[in-house]
Homo-oligomer: A and B are copies of this chain.
Amino acid sequence: MPEQGTPSSPPVTVVVDAMGGDFGPPETVSGAVQALGSHNINLVLVGDPDLIQAELSHLGGPTRRVQIVPSDGVIGDDEHPIEALRRKPDSSIVTATKLVKAGKADVLVSMGSTGASMASAVFILGMMEGLERPCIGGPFLGVAPNTVLVDMGSNVDCRPPLLLSFAALGSVFARRFLEIENPRVGLLSVGAEEAKGNRQVQESFQVLASSHLNFIGNVEGMDFFTDRADVIVCDGFVGNILMKFTEGLGTALSRFVEKRLESSLPPEDLARISFDLWQTTNLPRTMGGPLLGVNGSVVLGHGSCRAGGIAGAIDTGVRYFEMGLVESLREELASLDQNRPEPSLRAHG
């Protein structure tokens, strides 16, 4: 395991958008307090002070190492992220992001809305030089915990140079965070041969093949489970569909197994296997996904996360910050920009 902050290193300050996610303070505050027990961190909880305080009191009132910063308004999943940022400049996600920008917090953790959290990070923290859009990357399957998927965000219609950037970011994440030496990068397609795939993939194949990355060629849907690649690259359209599909399938298979085994297993064993099966298909719910490519340590969690998932996302954020991943990613993009092989392709889209 990578080195964690020791008691002698200074505490990491984590700001949590307490109003975010599907459940708000009852889960976010509880998850944050849970994380307090396992890390040398200070917490900043942004949102409605009364609601946050009520939850803290409910949890036995931990106040040491916890600060509340009030905000006004919440941005929902149904709002257009950029418009909402303008209309709600004091909303919880904007306030939380500004604390990172001002250097008052080291890590931002948000359970969504994903769109507003991404937009807020892009506008307030800024993009890394040479990057058009950030992506969400990380392992997403409990049965393949060392396979990184980029993009899990929703960057649709990605041009090849953007997919190359995502591949580079995912590669650094795999190398530093998962300690995989020289990560193998695969491009998700419908066949292993170079000629297989849609136009986007065929063009991206060339761009990846001429890069300095350890590109192994196209991989297919089953290769999330075959250990052929450490980083699998696709646009956010396919990535988002895969993630939501997996969640749905995991839930359906949990029910399937529960039903099939209800007469052969005691209820508590049944509940445990069903939960494990569900969880193994829902890794981002337990550890969040870092937003790669913005100038700051930002981890986004799934909107439906409960306290455990929020604590997990905080854990990811603390490790991400302590490893100095923002700096590593920035260096990688800079080297990519120098080596970018096919500038003519950039004008395409």
Q: What residues of chain A have their CB less than 8 Å away from a CB belonging to chain B?
A: 141, 143-144, 154, 156-157, 188-191, 197-199, 201, 220-226, 234-238, 240-249, 251-253, 256-257, 260-261, 264-265, 269, 273, 276-277, 280-281
Contact = CB atoms under 8 A, between A and B. Distances in A.
A15 B209 CA distance: 44
B244 A261 contact: no
A224 B197 contact: no
A225 B240 contact: no
A246 B198 CA distance: 20
B157 A199 contact: yes
Contacts of A249: 141, 143, 224-225, 246, 249, 281
Taking each of A154, A222, A223, A234, which has the highest tally of chain B beta carbons within 10 Å of its own beta carbon?
A222
Q: What is the oligomeric copy number?
A: 2
B157 A198 contact: yes
B190 A252 contact: no
A245 B221 contact: yes
A226 B74 CA distance: 28
A245 B242 CA distance: 8
Contacts of A141: 249, 252
Contacts of A273: 257, 260-261
A257 B256 CA distance: 12
9 pairs of A and B residues whose beta carbons are closest in the complex: A221-B244, A222-B248, A221-B245, A156-B198, A225-B248, A143-B252, A190-B240, A221-B241, A225-B252
Given A260-B273, A273-B257, A226 B248 contact: yes
Contact of A190 (B188, B190, B223, B237): B237
A226 B253 CA distance: 13
A160 to B, nearest CB: 15
A235 B280 CA distance: 28
Nearest to A191: B154
B257 A264 contact: no
Contacts of A269: 264
Given A224-B245, A249-B281, A277-B256, A190 B144 contact: no
A294 to B, nearest CB: 20
A184 to B, nearest CB: 17
Given A156-B197, A226-B248, A257 B240 contact: no
Nearest to A246: B249
A264 B237 CA distance: 41
Contacts of A252: 141, 143-144, 225
B237 A220 contact: no
Contacts of A238: 237-238, 241
A260 B276 contact: yes
Given A225-B249, A225-B251, A249-B281, 10 more contacts: A198-B235, A201-B237, A221-B241, A222-B248, A223-B248, A226-B248, A238-B241, A241-B242, A256-B277, A260-B276
